[in-house]
Amino acid sequence: MKDIKRFFRGNQLVNIPKKEKDKVLLFDYLITFFDKEIIYTEKEINNILREFYSDYAILRRYLVDFGYLSRESDGSSYTVIERKVIKK
């Protein structure tokens, strides 16, 4: 796994990478802060992500869009999606 520290200053994400492969690297890291056995509220997701980046809402949306989190249609709950790692 490539070093993701280049995206951070301390524990704060400097900016969201533009390249998709770098985004995936970032999201692979961020999802490790969530437990796949827990059903989260939006507020709980936000509280975890705000530790890394002030625009936590965009991180939440990316995690859903990239298939790391599943969201109920009414936004009431989120769960971690088990992802398969494809080695090249």
78 pairs with which residues across the strands?
40, 71
3-class secondary structure, 46: helix
Spatial separation of the C-alpha atoms in residues 17 and 83, rounded to whole Å: 21
Give the model's pLDDT for residue 88. 46
Least confident range from 20-29, 39-48, 76-85: namely 76-85
- Angle between helix 42-49 and helix 56-65 axes, rounded to 10 deg: 110
pLDDT at 83: 73
Q: Which residue type occupies 30?
A: L
Tens-digit pLDDT profile for residues 14-41: 999 999 999 999 999 999 999 999 999 9
| This model's pTM is above 0.85 | yes
